[in-house]
Amino acid sequence: MISFASRRRRRTKYYRYCQYARSAKSLPRAIEPEDVRHLVRLTRVVRDKALILMLLRTGMRVGELLRIRIQDINLRDRKVIIGESEKNRIGRVVYFSDDAKRALKAWYSERDPNKEILFYGTGNNPLSYVVVRRMFCGYLEKSGLKGKSYTLHCLRHTYASELLSAGVPLESLQQLMGHISVETTRRYARLTDKSLSEDYFRAMSLIERGEIHGEYR
């Protein structure tokens, strides 16, 4: 006879497996291109614009960006050295675009030069996640996007989806994202795979025109 403790352990294992299966199969959520442009246009505060564009153009996790110091950034080469990943403790290099560089330079001209942290809070402490989340939610509300349930992490998903759509190889994106397994990165490929929709609509056009023959079995 199976004891109560044994049944409880089995239920716990099954619950954890279901949780893992759901998280492993769930697709990341990217922000629609027009919504991204609208959000960036409405971000007028110099610090906020630099922060949002750095998340959007580097794919860094929020916690990683908030720990970045001035010495970690190479403006000339448009790259950031992440000494240690937030999740797997492995360092990597990420790059940023011209618009992010312009936003950073504007922030450099306003920020306290005595602060070591790029986006600082009180003292020389990093800006807190709560403050950044509140700021982002404020811009979502201002831009009329609050109802779409976008989160800060969606900026990272958007980065990955846009790079894949622009032709960046999966293996390169894996390194830029800091994923240990390429299978984690492959979830984004399912978001951007145009061949599936092309195959479907090509077949459906034949079906709608009645150009398939044979009998259903």
Worst-scoring range by mean pLDDT, 151-160, 177-186, 203-212?
203-212
Tokens (6 digits) for 156: 């990272």
Percent of the chain beyond pLDDT 90? 63
Q: How many CA atoms lie within 13 A of 207 on its CB side?
A: 6
pLDDT at 123: 85
pLDDT digits (tens, 9 = 90+) for 134-163: 999 999 999 999 999 999 999 999 999 999
- Judge: domain 33-179, CATH 1.10.443.10: yes
pLDDT at 215: 62
Query: What's the whole-number average pLDDT of the chain?
Result: 86
Contacts 24+ apart (CB under 8 A), 103-106: 103/46, 103/49, 103/50, 103/53, 103/54, 104/50, 104/53, 104/54, 104/73, 104/75, 105/75, 106/46, 106/49, 106/50
Whether this prediction's pTM lies above 0.85 is answered by no
- Sequence ranges of the domains in the chain: 33-179
Pick 55 or 216 by higher pLDDT: 55
